[in-house]
Amino acid sequence: GQQVMQIPQYQHVQEGEDFTTYCNSSTTLSNIQWYKQRPGGHPVFLIQLVKSGEVKKQKRLTFQFGEAKKNSSLHITATQTTDVGTYFCAGQDTGNQFYFGTGTSLTVIP
Amino acid sequence: EPEVTQTPSHQVTQMGQEVILRCVPISNHLYFYWYRQILGQKVEFLVSFYNNEISEKSEIFDDQFSVERPDGSNFTLKIRSTKLEDSAMYFCASSWTSGGSYEQYFGPGTRLTVT
């Protein structure tokens, strides 16, 4: 079945360093969404990418969708302690089912 | 700001018992979802619901699971005969349209513990 993998599983960075998480799907996606989940919290939507090769920015966050619509990345510039949490990608196929990635847990050391 | 609510926040049940998890989606949303997350693991899709019927379900959503929208506001997940491995956080989510361009709003979750 469909699988969505993320790397790395864990990332520890010093505050101010950059961070990137990568998401890879076994099949082509119609779109991909990114979520952030704080410890003990629920997933909170960050962004959705639909077009092949799409790049979107939200302040210090940059999101990319691959040309083949099978991979995506999230890059955070100059991390802050408020960025702590687990970042999940969630790919949607042609139906109404979402496949969440395995997540990347980000720790920011002050 | 509108939000998805879920009750109870924590449910403890014995193996073999039935449980009903309740959700109130955002009022003008059309699509509803249930997910589960075993502690420390990824979020797993269970089922999506639109126009009063299931639109997609995963392999996890077997015959012991069912969903209902009984009164136009609540959205429930029933597990008929709970097993130890059903212990997880269950999240309800709702969205305006199916992934086309709109995000899913997640509720705070119900932690289900099966003993």
Q: Is the pLDDT of residue A103 over 90?
A: yes
Q: What is the pLDDT confidence band of residue A95, given thresholds at 50, 70 and 90?
A: confident
To the nearest whole Å, the CA of A81 is away from the closest chain B CA by: 21
Provide the percentage of residues in chain A whose pLDDT is more than 70. 99
| Chain A residues whose beta carbon lies within 8 Å of the beta carbon of residue B31 | 96
Q: List Cβ neighbours of B28 (8 Å cut-off, separation of 6 or more).
A: B96
Residue identified by tokens 């009984």 is B70
Could you tell me what percent of chain A has a pLDDT over 90? 91
Instruction: State the pLDDT at residue B97.
Output: 64
Read off the amino acid at residue A26. S
Whether the pLDDT of residue B76 is over 90: the answer is yes
The answer to whether A42 faces chain B, any CB pair under 8 Å, is yes
pLDDT band at B84 (very low <50, low <70, confident <90, very high): very high
Residue A49 has what DSSP assignment? Answer: E
Average pLDDT over residues B32-44: 94
Q: Check residue B98 and give its pLDDT.
A: 61
The residue of chain B nearest to residue A47, with distances taken between CA atoms, is B103
Mean local confidence (pLDDT), B4-30: 95
Nearest to B61 by CA among B41, B39, B85, B45: B45
Q: Give the chain A residue nearest B58 (alpha carbons).
A: A97
Q: Which long-range contacts (CB under 8 A, 24 or more apart) does B70-75 make?
A: B73/B24, B73/B25, B73/B27, B74/B22, B74/B23, B74/B24, B75/B22, B75/B23, B75/B24, B75/B25, B75/B32, B75/B49
Kindly indicate the confidence band of residue B71, based on its pLDDT and cuts at 50, 70 and 90. Answer: confident
Distance CA A91, CA A68 (A): 13
B80 pLDDT higher than 70 = yes
Cβ–Cβ contact A43 with B under 8 A: yes
CB atoms within 10 A of CB A28: 13
